[in-house]
Amino acid sequence: MEPAANTPSPRPSILDAEQLDQLRELPGSGDGTLLDELIEIVVRDVPPDLARLRVMVQQRAAAEVAQLAHRVAGSAASLGAISLRLVLHEIEQAGRKSDWPAADKILATLDQEWAGTRAALLKLSSRPPS
């Protein structure tokens, strides 16, 4: 039986296992692993970026929203955080089109998305969370 046409597409995993495997093979800049370094950067940098993004959306600053969402989406993609990347990409597109109702709607899910991603990343880290 074919699925109904309006069946929502399955929600993607939080993290991309293949991307994480590739990161595990790369050397860190110091004694630790690259993956630990990346998780540390993301856990430190993403919350203030998301707070700025929220303010920019409230201010309807289209270009700034698009640029910041694009950069944070890039961080998420580099770390294999695919569901977070998807949400940020949608905000970026909404910013480009100045589609503020869409941006507000997506923004409402962002904190939850980040919380899930953060928890999943911290499980992978061999360093204690700061």
Partner 1 sequence: MRILIIEDDPVASAVLQASLRSLGHEFTVAVNGDEGWTRFSADPRRVVISDWMLPGIDGLELCRRIRRRGGDYTYFILLSSQTTSPDNLDQATAAGVDDFLTKPAKPAELKARLHVADRILHYATQVQQLESFIPICSYCKKVRDDKNYWNQIESYINSRTGSSFSHGVCPDCYTDVLVPQMKAIGVVPPAYGQGRGSVPKQEA
User: Rule CB under 8 A: which residues touch partner 1?
Assistant: 19, 22-23, 25-29, 34, 37-38, 41-42, 45, 67, 70-71, 73-75, 77-80, 89
> Nearest distance from residue 9's CB to partner 1, in Å?
19
> Nearest distance from residue 4's CB to partner 1, in Å?
30
User: 14-32 burial, b if ≥16 CB within 10 A, otherwise e?
Assistant: bbbeeebeebeeeeeeeee
Q: Residue 72 or residue 103: which is nearer to partner 1 going by CB?
A: 72
- Residue 27, beta-bridge partner list: 33
> Nearest distance from residue 69's CB to partner 1, in Å?
11
Q: Residue 23 or residue 56: which is nearer to partner 1 going by CB?
A: 23
Q: Which of 53, 49, 65, 51 is nearest to 98 (CA)?
A: 65
- Residue 33, beta-bridge partner list: 27
Q: Residue 3 or residue 48: which is nearer to partner 1 going by CB?
A: 48
Helices (H), the chain: 17-24, 34-58, 62-78, 82-97, 100-124
Q: Residue 25 or residue 108: which is nearer to partner 1 going by CB?
A: 25
